[in-house]
A and B are shown apart, each in its own frame.
Chain A
């Protein structure tokens, strides 16, 4: 099945800084989703982005399916952005395959 690699595994920022999180896939990207997991464990949908670029406020995402990667941009980070960010793809099956996540800590 598809393998998902996320980088970096950990990221520490000062409030107001920008960041880029990356997902690489071992196979073609078909149905990519980005999630933010808050400290209470809730997985919050950020983007459903099989290809192209989408923006939602300070967050934007770009998926280049042919090159098997996706990027999540966070601008002007806030302490509430802290948590773990996951990308996942269906990989041709009915199940979402997740990466191991990027743990983001935003300090005031």
Chain B
């Protein structure tokens, strides 16, 4: 039973660039949520995708956008990168948005 997978593991970008992070949910799950975790903090909710639609969004600017594909995998896109976007980005999957949510290993983004 494959768990949640994310790619890439690490990423280094410069300010102003754009980045795409990818997530494949746990087998049988149809809902993907994205979280940003700054150093020393708990994860913060970015948004959730279900049936290829953004179902709920946290307090993040429009520079953060996403997509969910028919196979339930998802992408997180961040435009016009800022230094403050440096963080661990976590993807979680669940069944119809219910708990429990299962997390992937994360993508560590560094913006220089």
Binding site for B on A (CB under 8 A): 4, 31, 33, 35, 40-45, 48, 86, 88, 90, 93-101
Contact = CB atoms under 8 A, between A and B. Distances in A.
Given A94-B33, A95-B48, A101-B42, 6 more contacts: A42-B106, A43-B106, A96-B43, A98-B42, A99-B42, A100-B41
Contacts of B40: 100
B103 A35 contact: yes
A94 B102 CA distance: 14
A4 B48 CA distance: 20
Nearest to B44: A98
B106 A96 contact: no
A96 B41 contact: no
10 A-B pairs closest in CB distance: A98-B42, A95-B45, A43-B103, A48-B100, A94-B56, A31-B99, A41-B106, A42-B105, A98-B43, A41-B88
Contact of A96 (B55, B101, B105, B108): B101
Q: Interface residue tally of chain B, by bracket?
A: 20 to 34
B90 interface: yes
Given A43-B43, A48-B99, A95 B108 contact: no
Q: Which of A45, A93, A94 has the most CB of B within 10 A?
A: A94
Q: Which of B40, B88, B98, B99 has the most CB of A within 10 A?
A: B99
A25 to B, nearest CB: 14
B58 interface: yes
Q: Which of B42, B45, B55, B108 has the most CB of A within 10 A?
A: B42
